[in-house]
Amino acid sequence: MISPASKSIASGTHAGGPLSGVRIVEFAGIGPGPFACMMLADMGAEVVTLDRVGARKNLKSVSGRGRKVVEIDLKDRASITQVLDLLTHADALIEGFRPGVMERLGLGPEVVQEHNPRLVYGRMTGWGQQGPLAQVAGHDINYISVTGALAAIGGAERPVPPLNLVGDFGGGALYLVVGVLAALLEATKSGKGQVVDAAMCDGAASLMSMFFDMAATGRWTETRESNLIDGGAHFYGVYECACGKFISIGSIEPQFYALLRQLAGLSEAEFDAQMDRKAWPVLKQKLVDVFKTRTRDEWCRIMEGTDVCFAPVLTMTEAPLHPHMAARKIFVERHGVTQPAPAPRFSRTPSAIRETEMADIASLTSEWKRGR
């Protein structure tokens, strides 16, 4: 299924990313699908994005980086034939439409896999391909609402949306990437592709595994800001400084907590009972007062680089300038846009940000056919 170019990875001769030689056709969408394809493209896969005619105006999009973009009318039967010809030579397909849309276009899994039995068919949705809500519109906030995740995040007064990191990207895109890669690996043994049903509600629920475990053993309550790592504990949270900026501490382990007490001057005996939940609200207020006595920069000079488990809370503008982030080149500039560098890192076949460019489907199909 995977083209000959990718086989050279095993021989140690190819340095174009660990997925070099893998060919993926992406049907343009928003959110988790493009993010998943960004990761796959960064890792060396050749990703071809099929977009509406005239829709692709910005070839410098961060989540759209590293693609060959083909504008095509999927309502045109001749265009569908061209897409099927391209998919005949692909390793994977990724789409994020509502269930049934690809089937109505004539590009459902059964049709496509008749042309290419080894193709991995990745489907990205919020509610999944089946179930009472499968055809209902939704967004990240809705998908994480039904998993228990949103109810557990935020202050005591109300849940707070954690951006769209939990549903779209954590529970959606990353599970899609894992699923597609696992199916590609299995296809090298079986010679058969399969459908990967990646639903954000599935992934977000999976991300909650540790908390369901903690709840089952009495270590987690459903009251927000009353638990170890939800802002309830005085030694794990975010505090405002004298300058109005914030710092974070996560001094859970006894030795780290002892260092926190030493550096913050918390000598009172009441801080001895670190794990006394009843004392947490009072001790938290004391820390609120302590951290407001100095600026964020002053606390950085006292605590950063120690085992307190401390960090300044940085904005997106500030983050690339932090010494650690800069030393690891975690952010890079491309076409005048500051953006996260590819992750994770590979020692022998490094990922890289590749150019996004317009392409012609007939030429691509011919190229892919010759490469097999």
- What is the rounded distance in angstroms from the CA atom of residue 64 to the CA atom of residue 95? 14
Whether residue 241 is found in the same domain as residue 198? no
Whether residue 101 is found in the same domain as residue 171? yes
Q: How many domains does the chain have?
A: 2
Task: Report the interhelical angle of 174-190 vs 32-42 (nearest 10°).
Answer: 60
Whether residue 172 is found in the same domain as residue 270? no
Whether residue 48 is found in the same domain as residue 131? yes
- What is the rounded distance in angstroms from the CA atom of residue 165 to the CA atom of residue 76? 36
Neighbours of 154 (CB within 10 A): 16
Look at residue 216 and tell me if it is in a domain. no
pLDDT at 82: 98
- Tell me which residue range forms the domain holding 298: 236-319
Look at residue 306 and tell me if it is in a domain. yes
DSSP state, 173? Answer: I
Look at residue 337 and tell me if it is in a domain. no
Whether residue 81 is found in the same domain as residue 143? yes
Which backbone phi and psi does 51 adopt, to 5 degrees? -125, 165
Whether residue 38 is found in the same domain as residue 141? yes
* Residues in Cβ contact with 338 at an 8 Å cutoff, skipping those fewer than 6 apart: 320, 331, 332
Whether residue 288 is found in the same domain as residue 139? no
Look at residue 228 and tell me if it is in a domain. no
Q: Is 45 in contact with 22 (CB distance < 8 Å)?
A: yes
pLDDT at 16: 85
The whole-model pTM stands at: 0.93
Look at residue 24 and tell me if it is in a domain. yes
309: domain CATH number is: 3.30.1540.10
Whether residue 176 is found in the same domain as residue 251? no
Whether residue 346 is found in the same domain as residue 256? no
Quote the tokens at residue 107. 């590009």
Q: What is the pLDDT along the chain (372 residues), one digit of tens a residue?
A: 444 333 333 334 345 899 999 999 999 999 999 999 999 999 999 999 999 998 766 678 999 999 999 999 999 999 999 999 999 999 999 999 999 999 999 999 999 999 999 999 999 999 999 999 999 999 999 999 999 999 999 999 999 999 999 999 999 999 999 999 999 999 999 999 999 999 999 999 999 999 999 999 999 999 999 999 999 999 999 999 999 999 999 999 999 999 999 999 999 999 999 999 999 999 999 999 999 999 999 999 999 999 999 999 999 999 999 999 999 999 999 999 999 999 999 999 999 999 999 999 999 999 999 876
Quote the tokens at residue 79. 């265009």
pLDDT at 56: 65
- What is the rounded distance in angstroms from the CA atom of residue 210 to the CA atom of residue 222? 14
- What is the rounded distance in angstroms from the CA atom of residue 314 to the CA atom of residue 331? 14
- What is the rounded distance in angstroms from the CA atom of residue 151 to the CA atom of residue 297? 34
Whether residue 184 is found in the same domain as residue 241? no
74: domain CATH number is: 3.40.50.10540
Look at residue 76 and tell me if it is in a domain. yes
Please report, for residues 5, 90, 110, 360, 367, the alpha-carbon distance to residue 85 in angstroms, rounded to integers and kept in the order given: 20, 9, 15, 13, 12
Look at residue 331 and tell me if it is in a domain. no
Quote the tokens at residue 89. 């030579």
Q: Which residues are catalytic?
A: 139, 168
**Would you mind telling me the total number of residues written for the chain in this entry?**
372
Look at residue 359 and tell me if it is in a domain. yes
Whether residue 79 is found in the same domain as residue 181? yes
Whether residue 157 is found in the same domain as residue 72? yes
